[in-house]
């Protein structure tokens, strides 16, 4: 066989796995991935490897389009690349959204700017009001505690001129029903608890990804709130006004999508995202917003998946795009 023909045959053989949706992940690469993220599967190794193989191909295909300028965000393999988060969530009974009393009109500061008057975005991280990104852990669905504690500490920092990181673990252990610790919960319930009992500092009540017995003494409160405001459902302009004029806002989104799991940077758009209050599965913290010259308006959002995920723990989500993933469906912030 001529050398040219041999090269053509080898090229065709390399194309076959891609055409069949397969990858060339070796045993060594799979072992390295598991070691990197401390994963050990005694009975379902083949299942998780199959998911990982699929995600390797997905990331490669997506990033090829990203490099061609056809996608506005980049993907990367990470701690979620071999699991299906929808399966994890299906093991838990969903907690219906609590009924919210209609909020009184939020108090506007004297220099309040309406949406049409806002000429540029904002990033509250630049003001020193946002604490370091936390990591809730894969098996602990405590996002609601990170989102609510992050909102409270930011607003207290804005009021007092000093950032004191607060404890999501205190909320995980102590906030009562309908919240269920590592089995999900709602930000508004955490706000109501903090209003009544206060919240511990992060240093005094450190985080572990599990629900334990509450050992909180209200006498040691590091901060409290007067209540909270729930913004108009689906109104992204009002949400932007509040973020700009008042401060970070806790929101919940539909996040059970591979695009979210594997997000690495850029402006995230997920066409299949839900936006009703019953679609919301993950609580995060809007700390700002801006506009990209090509991909348009975006929200700047703090997540609780650690700093190796996304843009050092943050992500940008499409803004003014029909309430993408329900970002403006249930926005709330504390009154301090």
Residues carrying an active site annotation: 143, 282, 303
For helices 187-197 and 143-160, the axis angle rounded to 10 degrees is: 50
Are 245 and 238 in contact by the 8 Å Cβ rule? The answer is no
Strands 314-318, 296-302: parallel, antiparallel or unpaired by DSSP?
antiparallel
């Amino acid at each position: 066989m001529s050398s040219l023909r041999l090269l053509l045959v080898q090229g065709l053989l390399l194309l076959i796995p891609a055409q069949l949706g397969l990858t060339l992940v070796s045993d060594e690469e799979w072992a390295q991935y598991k070691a990197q993220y401390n994963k050990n599967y005694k009975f379902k190794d083949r299942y998780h490897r199959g998911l990982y193989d699929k995600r390797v191909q997905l990331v490669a295909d997506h990033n090829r389009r990203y490099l061609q300028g056809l996608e506005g965000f980049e993907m990367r393999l990470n701690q979620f690349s071999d699991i299906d988060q929808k399966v994890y969530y299906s093991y838990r009974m969903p907690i219906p959204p609590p009924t919210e009393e209609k909020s009184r009109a939020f108090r506007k500061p004297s220099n309040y700017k309406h949406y049409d008057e806002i000429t540029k975005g904002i990033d509250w991280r630049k003001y020193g009001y946002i604490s370091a990104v936390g990591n809730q852990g894969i098996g602990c669905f405590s996002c609601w505690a990170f989102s609510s504690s992050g909102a409270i500490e930011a607003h207290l920092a804005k009021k007092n001129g000093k950032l004191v990181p607060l404890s999501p673990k205190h909320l995980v252990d102590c906030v009562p029903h309908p919240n269920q610790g590592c089995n999900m919960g709602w930000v508004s319930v955490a706000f109501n608890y903090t209003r009544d009992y206060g919240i511990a500092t992060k240093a005094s009540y450190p985080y572990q990804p599990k629900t334990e017995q509450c050992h909180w003494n209200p006498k040691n409160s590091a901060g409290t709130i007067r209540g909270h405001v729930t913004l108009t459902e689906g109104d992204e302009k009002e949400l932007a006004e509040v973020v700009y004029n008042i401060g970070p806002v806790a929101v919940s989104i539909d996040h059970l999508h591979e695009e979210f799991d594997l997000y690495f940077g850029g402006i995230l758009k997920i066409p299949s995202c839900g936006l009703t209050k019953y679609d919301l599965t993950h609580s995060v913290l809007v700390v700002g917003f801006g506009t990209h010259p090509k991909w348009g308006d975006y929200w700047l959002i703090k997540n609780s998946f650690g700093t190796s995920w996304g843009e050092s723990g943050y992500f940008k989500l499409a803004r003014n795009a029909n309430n993408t993933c329900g970002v403006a469906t249930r926005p709330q912030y504390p009154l301090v």
